Structure formats: structure tokens, C-alpha cells
Amino acid sequence: MTESHDMTKTLTGERSRDALVIGGGVAGMQAALDIASQGFKVYLVEKSPSIGGRMAQLDKTFPTLDCSACILTPRLSEVSRHPDIELLAYSEVKDVKGEEGNFRVQVLRKTRKVHVDKCTACGNCLSVCPVEVPNEFDGNLGFRKAIYMPFPQATPAVMTIDADTCIDCNRCAKECDRGAIDYTLTDETVELHVGAIILATGYRLFDVAKYPRLGYNRYQNVINALEYERLINAAGPTMGHLLRMSDGKAPKKIGFIQCVGARDIQKGVPLCSRICCMYGIKNAVMAKEHDPEAEVTIYYLDIRAFGKGFEEFYEMARTRFGVKFVRGRVGDVNEDAATENLIVRVENTETGTVEDVVHDMIILSPGVQPPIDLSEMVGNMGVHVDTDGYVEVEDVLLAPVDTKIPGIYVCGCAEGPRDIPDSVAAGSAAAMRAAITLVKGDDKN
Amino acid sequence: MIQSGTQLQTEYTSFFKQKRGAIRKQRAVIQKVLDLGPATVSEISEQADLAKNLVVWNIIGMLRWGMIEIVEEHGPELVYALKR
């Protein structure tokens, strides 16, 4: 991996044998590794300061309950060490021109105000920075400084100054023995010449605050699934202890509400997000692992356990871990002001009764949506999005990673909601299609 | 792409907007309580006369910066102590 600033090429008119992958999540990393391992150069552009994507934020994966970071970290390392992958983290694609085999891409390299070749991520600067802000990586529940690394295994392992919150006190620069911090550094734009492009821009979570009746933003003990993931993670803000934000007590009666922002036409999200059932069950199992005495309930519409080992995992949650499943859409969540406990009103469609159930903590499982700027970004390339906002493919059955623009491919959740194994598989598939383009030119001939 | 995935705007996140001087005072009071020995959020809240959610917020910050540690569990609460 290199992070050099001199990558402009001037091969006007020539076909390029280099590839560009946009998005450094698990799908994008797989695509980059598979192309680079065939001997092609790959530029991997990632918007945030580190690659790793959403998977880096997860505690465990379903259905195996493997530690997410344990699987991901070697992959981060592999990308960072690969001689044919040039990582452009903290960068954004601004413009794409050209055609298959000969794309010209403008990439904005946002400044970290840190010389990446000098910073060793020693962390001395952190102790002197006086600015505390919410850590996005911890779902805004944890803390970071204005100079920060999103998580300990961040790749590249360099500090970044958040220009929005930095107060220019210069303490970090004075503390840095290596002279890595430089406030005079500015953004720059570089041009890449590539033959194929892979879109791996991932997803965003549905904003569960759009359901005010479920209490998010109104009650402190209603959180979303990503915040929950960070709370139960040993490297998270509470060092793996599940606590209520209102009083620091461990919840004993926990409720998970499924399909929040999925399969709901009125909210403009008719699509099933595919992953919520299983991550909801996984989170419920983890609640029981943390505290076997806790009462854990999942409120669901359907359980869609469609993948290998998923049905067995669901059964295990029910029978071995004792997770209670209640079929029915939750009407509303209200708070008992004295105890800050939450009262869930639900119609149990299996018994036909309306029940009020008290919980200490409620976790909303949001559906997934395409990134907010996806339509605009891919529109600049001539690529269209479908009615749900995901990248439209040439043929969902026979060309599921080809966009309608030759030379541009898509993988992971940029094309639609999918889990980690499916995202990795799509990353490899897109890499193969891109490699054919790079080797043979127009692969449709 | 790493995103917060959250729009949590509760009282908890509003604590980040406090003036640094106010935060310093809160942490000094909490530290003073913990100087007397390990304590739970409820105990700190009572002795420091700070709301429990404000104590939780400060505790999470103090854990992050290595000022305190979790030493044991006491019923549904954790017991915190100053890191020596």
C-alpha cells in the first residue's frame, strides 16, 4: 500500500490496465484484493479516514458468532500491504469521464493535516487535544478528540484532524516529536486513469427517528442496533458492558423491535433489508450471552432466515438461549417517567391480544438504505439507480454485478441489501468482471 | 464507509456541547468522590449531586481517557475506581 500524492497519469488516448474501486468496506476490499492479485494495479478510494466499512463497527457476525474485528483485521492488513493496491483513504470521487478501458477520474484528497509518512499513530497528540466530541464510530455514544484515529486497527494507521471541531490550539503539533502535524496542508485533487471501475459504496442505516412513536430521540433507553453493537463491544465506549444511558444500570428486560424502516411503503422503504432478522437474532443472543438471566424478546413481522445455517441459528436462539419471539408490529413505546422503563404496546398476532410489556431497554433494528449521495455520484458516470435507490444492474439474473455502463461494475450493498458473505462473493464477482475488461478490452465482443 | 448510523439527539449527546470548564468541574467532583473509594453511578450521582445520565456520560469519557476503571459489579451496576 502506498499513499503517495503523485499518481496523476497522462496516458491520453491509451487504454489503462489499472482499476478503481470506490468504497473500502468488506466488498470493496475483496474486489481490490482479487484484482490486484491478478497483477493489475488498483486504486482503492475510501471516503472516511480508514477502510473497513460497517463491518469494523460490528461486535459479532451471524450465524457463527465470530468476532467481526478478528475476521476483518487480517483483511485490512492484507490490503495495506499489497504492493498493487494504492489506498486513497479520506478521499472522494468527484468526476468521472471517458469509457470502458479509458476512464479519467478526479479524486478529492481531503487533508488530514497530518503527514502520513511521518505519523506513527503513537497517540501522544490525543492526550493533549482539549476537544472532546462524539465518536461516530461508536454510534456517537463514545468519545474521541478533534485529532483521532477512528478505531485502533484503522488502516492506514495515521491520525486525522477533524477540521470541523479543531480549535487550532496547536497543542498536538507541539507534542508531536516527528513533526507529522502540519496545519498548512490543504485538500488536493488528483486525476486517475483507469480501465475499469467498481462501485462498492455500501449502505446507510434507516433513520429510526422517523418513527417518533417508537421513542428514539425521546427516551434515552431506546437505542438503535448499531449503538447496541458498540455498547456490547469490548472496545466500545463501555468496554463491552451493556448499560442504560439514563442511569448506568445493566438492563434485565430487553426488547428488540424488527423491521424499523423496512417493508413499510408509507415511509418509502418497501424493500426487505434482508439482514435485519439475522442481526436482530444475533444481538438478542449476545444479550443472553452477556447476561443469561436477562429476559430478551424480539418483536417481529416474519423471520426471514434464508441463508446457510440461519434457520438453525434462529432455532438455537429460541431453544438454547431462551429468546422470546413475539409476532406483531409494535404500536408504540412509552416511558415510565419514574423508572425510565419502557412500555411496549404490541398486538400479538398469534394470540390476537394487545399487550403492554415493560422493558428496561429497547433496541430498534433499522433497515438499510443506499448512501444518501449515491444517485448523484453514480449519475455523474451515467449509471442509474433503481426505484429503491440502489445501483441498477444490466441483468439481475445473468449480469448481477454489471451496470449498464460498460467497464463499471457494482458489488456489496451498493446494489442492494446483503450480508457479509454475499457482499464478499459479489466483490469477487465484480473483480472478475473488471479483470476481463482490463485484459481483453470490451468483454462483450 | 464508516458512518455514525445514528441521529441520537437525546440529553446524552447534548452533554458533548457543554463548555469545557463545566466538564472539568464535573470530572473534578466525580474524581473527588472516587478519591474516597470505588463507587457506582448511583453513589456518585448522590454524592456529587449530578444527574445520573450526566454521571454516565462523564464516566464513559473518563473510561476512554484512562482516568478510571471498572473494578467490580454490584447488582445491576458497575463499580468504578480511579486508575492508580
pLDDT tens for each residue of A338-378: 999 999 999 999 999 999 999 999 999 999 999 999 999 99
Would the pLDDT of B5 be above 60? no
pLDDT (average), residues B12-24: 93
Q: Are strands A204-205 and A341-348 parallel, antiparallel or unpaired?
A: unpaired
Whether A241 and B70 lie within 8 Å, measured CB to CB: yes
Grid cell of A153 as nine digits: 486497527
**What pLDDT, in 10s, does the model give residues A224-251?**
999 999 999 999 999 999 999 999 999 9
Q: How far apart are CA A292 and CA A323, in angstroms?
A: 10
Give A424→chain B minimum CA distance, Å: 15
* pLDDT band, very low/low/confident/very high, at A9 (cuts 50, 70, 90): very low
From the list A132, A125, A245, the residue with the least C-alpha distance to B19 is A132
Q: Do A247 and B13 touch (CB under 8 A)?
A: no
Percent over 90 (pLDDT), chain A: 94
The closest of A61, A19, A104, A63 to A380, measured between CA atoms, is: A104
pLDDT by residue (tens digit) across A118-144? 999 999 999 999 999 999 999 999 999
**Complex ipTM, two decimals?**
0.90
Residue A375 grid cell: 444517485
pLDDT of amino acid A19: 98
For chain B, how far is it from start to end, CA to CA, in angstroms?
38
Across the interface, whether the CB atoms of A245 and B53 are under 8 A apart is answered: yes
pLDDT tens readout for residues A42-85: 999 999 999 999 999 999 999 999 999 999 999 999 999 999 99
User: Rounded to the nearest 10 degrees, how much is the dihedral formed by the CA atoms of A428, A434, A436, A439?
Assistant: -130
Q: Residues of B at the A interface (Cβ-Cβ below 8 Å)?
A: 1-13, 16, 20, 23, 40-42, 52-53, 55-57, 59-61, 63-65, 70, 73, 76-78
Contact A140 B13 (CB under 8 A): yes
Least confident of A156-165, A180-189, B2-11: B2-11
Q: What is the mean pLDDT of residues A324-344?
A: 96
What's chain B's Rg over C-alpha atoms? 14
Residues of A in contact with B2 (CB under 8 A): 48-50, 52-54, 56-57, 136-137, 150
In chain A, residues with a C-beta closer than 8 Å to the C-beta of B65 are: 127, 143
Rg (CA), chain A: 23
- Distance CA(A418)–CA(A276), nearest Å, equals 10
Q: Is the pLDDT of residue B3 over 70?
A: no
Flag whether pLDDT at A7 surpasses 90.
Answer: no
Contact A20/A66 with Cβ under 8 angstroms?
no
And the C-alpha cell for A398?
445473468
* Nearest chain B residue (CA) to A371: B1
Give the global pTM: 0.92
DSSP secondary structure string, A161-218? E-TTT-----HHHHH-TT--B-TT---EEEEEEESEEEE----EE--GGG-GGG-TTT
Residues in B touching A250 (Cβ below 8 Å): 73, 76-78
With a CB cutoff of 8 Å and minimum separation 6, the contacts of A311 are: A305
What local confidence, expressed as pLDDT, does residue A401 receive? Answer: 98
Q: How far is residue A406's CA from residue B28's CA, in Å, rounded to a whole number?
A: 62
- Rounded CA-CA distance B5/B13 in Å is 14
Cα A335 from Cα A213, distance rounded (Å):
11
Give the model's confidence band at A440: pLDDT under 50 very low, under 70 low, under 90 confident, else very high: confident
The residues that bridge with A334 in the sheet, in sequence order, are: A343
Instruction: Give the Cα separation of B32 and A387 in Å (integer).
Output: 58
Would you call the peptide bond into A63 cis, given omega within 30 degrees of 0 as the criterion?
yes
pLDDT in tens, A306-319: 889 999 999 999 99
The torsion angle over the Cα atoms of residues A337, A340, A345 and A346, rounded to 10 degrees, is 180
- Looking only at the bridges linking them, the beta strands covering A42-45 and A85-88 are parallel
A58 grid coordinates: 460490528
Q: Is the peptide bond before A156 cis (omega within 30 degrees of 0)?
A: yes
Assign A329 a pLDDT band (cuts: 50, 70, 90).
confident
